[in-house]
Amino acid sequence: MDQMTNTRFDAVTAAPHNHSTHAKVVGQDVNVFYGDKQALFDINLSIGERQVTALIGPSGCGKSTFLRCLNRMNDTIDICRVTGKIELDGGDIYDPSLDVVELRARVGMVFQKPNPFPKSIFENVAYGPRIHGLASGKAELEEIVERSLRKASLWEEVKDRLAESGTGLSGGQQQRLCIARAIAVSPEVILMDEPCSALDPIATAKIEELINELRENYTIIIVTHSMQQAARVSQRTAFFHLGVLVEEGPTDEIFTTPKDQRTMDYVTGRFG
Amino acid sequence: MAVSTAQTTPPRQTSDRAAQLRRRRYAADRRLKFFGLAAIVTAIALLGILLGSLILTGYQAFVQTHVTIEVAIDPELVDRDNPASGNYRAVVADAVQRLFPEADDPAVLQEGSRIVTNGAQVILRNMVVGNPGLVGTTFSLQVPVSDPYDQLTKGVIQRDSPENRRRLNDAQISLYETLEERGLIETRANWALLFNADSRFPELAGLSGAIVGSFYALLVCFLISFPMGIAAAIYLEEFAPKNRWTDIVEVNINNLAAVPSIVFGLLGLAVFIQLFGLPRSAPLVGGMVLSLMTLPTIIIVTRAALKAVPPSIREAALGVGASKHEVILHHVLPLAIPGILTGTIIGLAQALGETAPLLLIGMNAFLTSPPGGIMEPATALPTQIFIWADSPERGFVARTSAAILVLLGFLITMNAIAIYLRARLERRW
Ligand SMILES: Nc1ncnc2c1ncn2[C@@H]1O[C@H](COP(=O)(O)OP(=O)(O)OP(=O)(O)O)[C@@H](O)[C@H]1O
Ligand SMILES: [Mg+2]
């Protein structure tokens, strides 16, 4: 318990060489249960605005579970129960009066396996803005689609084939399409669950480059199994182990001078 | 610790024992393939025997022997202003007289009149009512010969069998042969089989009433079970909490699909007809009863189709903030539609062949005209087969097989459409 409090203290205060302004997402004493089985234990983590936070840890430690709490994707799992408090800009996202649909527009998500809709490329990106009523006409919708595809560095590759199916793109292009789809509804936070695990190194490099650009405007939380990737794209890193948040801090510190032995073991490849 | 494989002895793939083992494994592969092949060959052979025997007995019903008669519509007998109530019996008698101009023996003429179908009067009456301009004219017309002579022409009744063993005596046959010699007898395609309604006379009996009745019943069945089945499946799959109650509902839907169809017929009789007072023999009731059987099928296939939609698509839609109905209607349902349609068509095809419940609600009435709507008495294809199979006339034997072939034709068409739709629609995503 003492250690937990410590960790929490570290997490909230330690951000010395970061220009981050304020905590965008704050989790307090988050516990998650799948039926009787507890997957996360008293997670206290605050995530700074407009920076990339990497969640790392061995398989099954609860990274995805935590990520999916942040846009309440866990609501769709019947047996999943979340306690504690998660705030987005100071507002509790588990408040019963909160509108989940709006939350998911503010907190976008990119999944492990690229999952474009089996519809046209245009429709993939236009779908979100359309259901949320973000565009007041066809021209505006087209503008949003183009802007989003440009931000996802996909525009040049697909501008001549917007009517073709999104599933006909290459894996890397599909993943960028999914990022464009998430961007199109103007989210504040983008959650990425191992976005490159199904991609080859070149496509991965493209996505990482893209993440670096997106950091200017979005708060990004990325789950990754690759230490190199975490080191390349993130400013801060949180290490999870067996459902516990072991340590959180600036990425270079986590990788060079971790405070916890378990983190040390993990980042040096001794387990996981 | 990760390199423990180095310590195990290397496998000896080349040893005799391994080679022998491999041979045994290949032998097992071949055996499995052989059993599968044998099963398929047996199934196809059985199907071939079924179709073969149906075609052998049924093909004769697709042609019908006709005799050409010369008809004079005497204005004395048929009033131009009221053609419906003319004396067509006399018109036909006159035509028979013209068929045997030199015969003056009334007994011969009476035998002769038996060659022409009994329904000739009705055929003529319908013609003249449809075109009153025929009154006062003389024209030649092909009408079916009555059933025994049709059987004689088709060789079912054999001329060289003993006279007392056949339905036509020598005098009758020789009278008929004079017509054959004059070239008045012709065997041609029996469109009446498809376009006539039922009749007591096999040479006039057709399936149009049954086809229309089956169509109406299936339409009612589809309109009830398709929307209800999809709605129920969507609720169960997407909204219902997973608890004991939904488990019970689920088990019972599966049970419903396994209930013998005759039970649904009894239910329809007791509830729809006796309680609600809906008309007997009506395609409306038939369709409602059939929908009780189709509904569970559609629920089950729809749920399977919904389940088969990859969860990643749901997550993608939820991830951009789609609400539940948007996820279902915009993403899940369109992907499930091919499966749902295929299952529905197969369910309807089953309903098309269903006989027992329709017998119970009286869709086996003897009706000589197709139903004009879903509330009017009707038969259906399988019940029509049942009626014909029960009829004593020789001509109905072949017609029963022919009707079965027609029914099978519809079933195969429906299943082919299902397969085509599945291939077509699934390519799109
Ligand atoms: N839908 C679920 N139902 C039941 N248990 C689940 C469910 N999803 C996850 N869990 C359990 O919760 C724990 C955390 O899972 P989670 O998917 O968050 O791990 P992870 O860190 O993302 O792992 P990985 O790196 O393999 O993706 C695991 O023990 C897992 O078995
Ligand atoms: Mg995961």
How are beta strands A52-56 and A236-241 bridged, if at all? parallel
Q: Where are the alpha helices (DSSP H) in A27-70?
A: 63-70
pLDDT of B13 = 65
Domain that holds residue A220: 2-267
Closest to A51 in 3D by CA, of A261, A248, A266: A248
B-chain CB neighbours of A185 within 8 Å are 320-321
pLDDT at B15: 83
A176-200 pLDDT per residue, tens: 999 999 999 999 999 999 999 888 8
For residue B138 the two structure tokens come to 């003389």
Using the Cβ of B331 and the Cβ atoms of chain A, whether some distance falls under 8 Å is answered with: yes
Q: Is the pTM of this model over 0.95?
A: no
Per the CB < 8 A criterion, the answer to whether A114 and A178 are in contact is: yes
DSSP assignment of A216-227? TT-EEEEE-S-H
From the CA of B2, how far away is ligand 1's center (Å)? 25
Contact between residue B312 and residue A112 where contact means Cβ atoms under 8 Å apart: no
Q: What pLDDT is attached to residue A158?
A: 95
Residue A42 β-bridge partners = none
Q: Which pLDDT belongs to residue B421? A: 86
Summary mean pLDDT of chain A:
89
Bridge-partner residues for A45, per DSSP? A27
Give the 3-state secondary structure of residue B336.
Answer: helix
List CB contacts of B366: < 8 A, sequence separation 6 or more: B198, B200, B387
Residue A19 has pLDDT above 70, yes or no: no
* CB distance A195 to A222 below 8 Å: yes
Q: What is the pLDDT of residue A199?
A: 86
Is the distance from the beta carbon of residue A64 to the nearest atom of ligand 1 less than 6 Å?
yes
Q: Which residue of B has its CA nearest to A180?
A: B320
Residues in B closer than 8 angstroms to A272, CB to CB, are none
Parallel/antiparallel/unpaired status of strands A107-110 and A23-34: unpaired
- Ligand number nearest CA of A66 is 1
**Does the beta carbon of A62 sit less than 6 angstroms from any atom of ligand 1?**
yes
Confidence at A21, pLDDT banded by 50, 70, 90:
low
Q: What is the pLDDT of residues A103-123, one digit of tens each?
A: 999 999 999 999 999 999 999
Interchain CB contact of B427 with A (< 8 Å): no
User: For residue B426, what is the nearest residue in chain A, using CA coordinates?
Assistant: A118
In this predicted structure, what is the pLDDT of residue B166?
86
Query: What is the spatial order of strands in the sheet that A107-110 belongs to?
Result: A107-110, A189-193, A219-223, A52-56, A236-241, A244-250
Extract the residue ranges of chain B whose pLDDT is less than 70. Answer: 1-13, 427-429
Q: Which residues contact B381 (CB under 8 A, 6 or more apart)?
A: B207, B210, B211, B213, B214, B352, B353, B403, B406, B407, B410
User: B319 vs A105: CB contact, 8 Å cut-off?
Assistant: no
β pairing state of A52-56 and A219-223: parallel
The total domain count for chain A is 1
Q: According to the model, what pLDDT value does residue B12 have?
A: 62
State the complex-level ipTM.
0.87
The contact set of A with B (CB < 8 A) is 71, 73, 76, 78, 101-105, 108-111, 113, 115-118, 127-128, 131-132, 165, 167, 178, 181-182, 184-185
Residue A6's pLDDT band, with cuts at 50, 70 and 90, is very low
SS3 label, residue B366: coil
pLDDT score at B66: 95
- The residue written with tokens 């068929």 in the block is B99
CB contact under 8 A, B321 and A104: yes
CB B300 within 8 A of CB B254: yes
Does residue A80 have a pLDDT over 70?
A: yes
B8 touches chain A (CB under 8 A): no
Residue of A189, A206, A46, A25 lying closest to A114 (CA atoms) = A206
Is the pLDDT score of A9 beyond 80? no
CATH number for the domain that contains residue A133: 3.40.50.300
Fill in the amino acid letter for B331.
H
pLDDT higher than 50, residue A63? yes
Which residue has tokens 């009780």? B292
**Is a pLDDT exceeding 50 seen at residue A16?**
no
Q: Give a yes or no: residue A123 inside a domain.
A: yes
Shortest Cα distance, chain B CAs vs residue A117, angstroms:
6
- Number of helical H runs and strand E runs in chain A: 11, 10
Q: What is the pLDDT of residues A162-178, one digit of tens each?
A: 999 999 999 999 999 99
The answer to whether the CB of A139 falls within 8 A of the CB of A124 is: no
Dist. CA A141–CA A36, nearest whole Å: 46
- B66 closest CA partner among B128, B166, B145: B145
pLDDT at A11 over 50: no
CB-nearest partner of B315 from A115, A118, A132: A115
- What's residue A13's pLDDT? 39
Question: In this predicted structure, what is the pLDDT of residue B329?
Answer: 95
**Residue ranges of domains in chain B, CATH in brackets:** 67-188 (no CATH), 208-425 (1.10.3720.10)
State if residue A34 touches ligand 1 by the CB under 6 angstroms criterion: yes
Q: Specify if A272 maps to a domain.
A: no
Q: Which ligand is nearest to the CA of A60?
A: 1
pLDDT of res. B45? 97
- Give me the total of CB pairs closer than 8 Å, taking one residue from chain A and one from chain B: 66
Which residues have CB under 8 Å from B36's CB, separation 6+? none
Per-residue pLDDT reduced to its tens digit, A213-258: 999 999 999 999 999 999 999 999 999 999 999 999 999 999 999 9
CA–CA–CA angle B372, B378, B380 (5° rounding): 120
Residue A246 within any structural domain of the chain? yes
Measure the CA–CA gap between B200 and B118, rounded to whole angstroms.
Answer: 10
Backbone Cα Rg of chain B: 31
Q: Which atom of ligand 1 lies nearest, measured to the CA of A58?
A: 25
